[in-house]
Homo-oligomer: A and B are copies of this chain.
Amino acid sequence: MALLDENRLFPTDPSMRDLARLLFQSISQLPIVSPHGHTDPRWFAEDRNFTNPTDLFVTPDHYVFRMLHSQGVALSALGVPRADGGATEQDKRKIWRLFAENFYLFRGTPSRLWIDHAFQEVFGVTARLSAETADLIYDQIADCLKQDTFRPRALFKRFNIEAISTTESAIDDLRWHKMIRASGWDGKVVTSYRPDAVVDPEFEGFTNNVQVMGEMTGEDTTTWVGYLAAHRKRRAFFKAFGATSSDHGHLSARTEDLPQAEAAALFSKALQSKCSPDEADRFRGHMLTEMARMSIDDGLVLQIHPGSFRNHSADITAMFGRDKGCDIPMRTDYVTALRPLLNAVGGRSDLTIIVFTLDETSYSRELAPLAGVYPALKLGPPWWFHDSYEGMLRFREMATETAGFYNTVGFNDDTRAFCSIPARHDVARRVDCSFLATLVATGRLHEDEAFEVAQDLAYRLAKQAYRL
């Protein structure tokens, strides 16, 4: 028995299915370009064996533990580390069994597809996970993980990754990236410049973070001019470790293009923790425009990831800390929010701004119309909860007619779950081939064009947009 249907995610109509399969066959062996994600560079630096199935599949995966939690499983029973120092389950096999018993909860979800894919394609598992098969599968994966061929660099090659980007804070020392470079390994692992900690006045430790950035760069970051100079130096440092992009996660998509004196004054207030919430928001918004101006100079692609209400559950945040599956998408406006940025730099063809959304209603109403006219603006792939079969299909159906394919940037997996990377790209490629086959079958695209677009979506657009 196979966990995976080899025709999965293809249209069911026989003629479309055949074409989708042919399209997929023409691209399925293309290397993976992963221009945005959250894998740990330490894995590739140290190249140590992953320790056990639970720490690989359960404990760090917020898609997994949030679903289990929603049905009453305590996060501590899953070994999720506690921020308040409380005890959590340490028996990896016990956690795995709990996961296995509840695996039916993932029916119909992308996690199910990703996990089945990793089980079968990476570890050769053919049984479906359940209470009955829990130990068998645990042992099979655990055995694999002990082998050299399952160490991070080996998997990187086996996954056919041409390039992958991690994401580091602007004040990270990039030690693991240095170690990768020093090692002489030829895997292309690059970083991305994520300055939230030094551009968001409401970020924990903002003032100190800005001071650290000053120390790292030798700039006087107590002044607006020195602060901007420090950003430029850190960006250059990140570029030295392969960075081709910056990344920005704000609550809204608000941008501003303030006069320099006003920006400087806000910065000064921010350093003194005297910004009102609205002032903090204006400062963040203005910094996107400053970052875009730096991007024109240094070529980094600007990514904006707005619209997530972070750490919605006060209890979980208090007990387990940030990023524990409690981030909830919000309604997000782009039309008025992005206008200052777009009016400042949106007409530039030498700049790339990639915008993501968690609010699918904006695809056809706001984002496709904006990306379909501003040269600098491109649409990122379906993000987070929408990185799924239905989510991808909705994206193509709602964005393509107005933005076309060439104002999108291919796929990125945005994941910290290393073994899910081939699965996620497999899903994206299949969905895109299905969509293209549907276009051909309904007379909206010629077949030869579909083959070309399939290559673009699976490989070329990501390479090109992210300059990888």
Contacts and interface: CB of A to CB of B under 8 A. Distances in A.
Given A401-B389, A442-B8, A330 B365 contact: yes
A5 B15 CA distance: 15
Closest 3 CB pairs of A and B: A8-B443, A5-B443, A72-B349
A386 B407 contact: no
B113 A444 contact: yes
Given A104-B449, A328-B335, A442 B12 contact: yes
A366 B315 contact: no
A400 B66 contact: no
A29 interface: no
Nearest to A65: B373
A8 B446 CA distance: 11
Contact of A401 (B333, B349, B390): B390
Of the listed residues A335, A364, A407, the one surrounded by the most CB atoms of chain B closer than 10 A to its CB is A364
Interface string A327-347: 111110101100100110011
A365 B331 CA distance: 8
Contacts of A336: 309, 330
Contacts of A66: 372-373
A390 B377 CA distance: 23
Contacts of A316: 347
A329 B365 contact: yes
A312 interface: yes
Interface in A69-112: 69-72, 104-110, 112
B446 A128 contact: yes
A198 interface: no
Contact of A441 (B12, B312, B368): B12
A169 to B, nearest CB: 26
A389 B442 contact: yes
Contact of A389 (B347, B365, B368, B444): B444
Interface in A441-468: 441-446, 449, 452-453
Contact of A109 (B105, B325, B404): B404
Interface string A54-67: 00000000000011
A267 interface: no
B375 A71 contact: yes
A385 interface: yes
Nearest to A312: B339
A197 interface: no
Nearest to A336: B309
Interface string A3-22: 01111111111011000000
Contact of A405 (B13, B107, B312): B107
Interface stretch (A230-238, A289-297, A354-362): A354-362
Q: How many copies does the complex hold?
A: 3
19 contacts: A5-B442, A5-B443, A13-B13, A70-B373, A70-B374, A70-B375, A71-B407, A105-B406, A106-B404, A107-B449, A107-B453, A108-B401, A108-B445, A109-B400, A109-B401, A315-B347, A327-B369, A329-B366, A331-B333
Given A5-B443, A360-B365, A444-B8, A71 B313 contact: no
Nearest to A9: B442
B326 A9 contact: no
A60 B365 CA distance: 23
Contacts of A314: 343
A366 B404 contact: no
A335 B347 contact: no
Nearest to A7: B443
Of the listed residues A12, A67, A330, A370, the one surrounded by the most CB atoms of chain B closer than 10 A to its CB is A12
A179 interface: no
A445 B103 CA distance: 12
A132 to B, nearest CB: 14
Contact of A107 (B375, B404, B438): B404
B365 A358 contact: yes
Contacts of A449: 104, 107
A371 interface: yes
